[in-house]
A and B are shown apart, each in its own frame.
Chain A
């Protein structure tokens, strides 16, 4: 599904080009749960932005469902983000004054789903994160864990092929963090592809595979040994 070959990204700091990714190569198959780890400045967020079509690479190739990012216009990228990708952010990015329903509806506003069909999709997505009783509560009134669950519902509502989660437990307490990760793990078990960026080993180990980045290069790409993990242990 995701094929990356020698992917590079440079940023300009003044006149000087600074490499953030210096040539990474890997693939992610449909239905995989992959964590991208690495220390601060390793390039994991940059890689996430490239994989989720929020940015374009300066070198290498990236194909998503056999279509190269280089062949797509900005409008096509926006359509792919809407149809095939879901996003969960560290800081939730909910609109505080809108209700849970209205927040979850946002991706549908930019989709080709007719207004009459939206309600069922929104209710199903909110039910899947266990917040059906909060459907008409303002997002700003929810707890951190509940906010992140709303964000997951928002990511799910368009039934995307892949969910990108950028430090989804970073702003949560340990218990809420585990709840969120369990929801993501459950989605994975139901066949959803999940790409998770985190710097927490316990969070990363919810995945099947961990890609470890350092200085813009892949240092390791390993399968997770599930028998060694206790899901009851606190995160962080």
Chain B
């Protein structure tokens, strides 16, 4: 249904800064700070959009094109995840492999843009980002295999529909896949044990180092893309593991309202959980990140193994 697709697409970009704001707010409250309002990211973005955009002298066209591409690709990926309705116009195209491919191309563009200016910070950020990607992507592929083994399809709407059906009870492979996906999501969206979105300390930053040269509307697009990426992972986890409440095809207006309310509720729960996790753990050294993602890879591998041994997992 085209209307629902448009609604989901608009909702994704409208809610993404709110999710980031909620995470920051909860985190501030947990640290006994008042913290900015949950709508602060919207104000930041609108301010950045009106500011002058400064581009370095030796920047190529790639540097100016990358923010738009990164934003567009991340938005497309985030809009494909079923959040309100199973029956959307582009749901046949919402293959997990394609979605992660789109996200990877966005990361490729950003890594190139980090190298383009030739500053050392951009270079180190890109190299770290690619190092993380090279370990996270096998884990993601293995995760897709597990979900495909359990649900019999790599299409996201099919997986969500399958998990929502009452025939699926508690599955060990889904439990392991959930823990694995949560770890991958933390690493990929640059949250605390792997990367700190609030730091500008050269020893620790990954994503911030790549985008250090950006300003004005370029920076706004990149920040919005980062928020959308976090929203993508949260929506993905909620669509695959807690898909209850998503309206079926041909749903009534009330069902859509309920689905929307539940979705916002899930986002709030995810924001609180993420904030709690972030304040209770310290940022790890860059060279320990492979251990972290490696553990996620092992868990997902274990899920695949159990699933192959017996159908009841």
- A and B physically associate: no
Chain A interfacial positions (CB closer than 8 Å to B): none
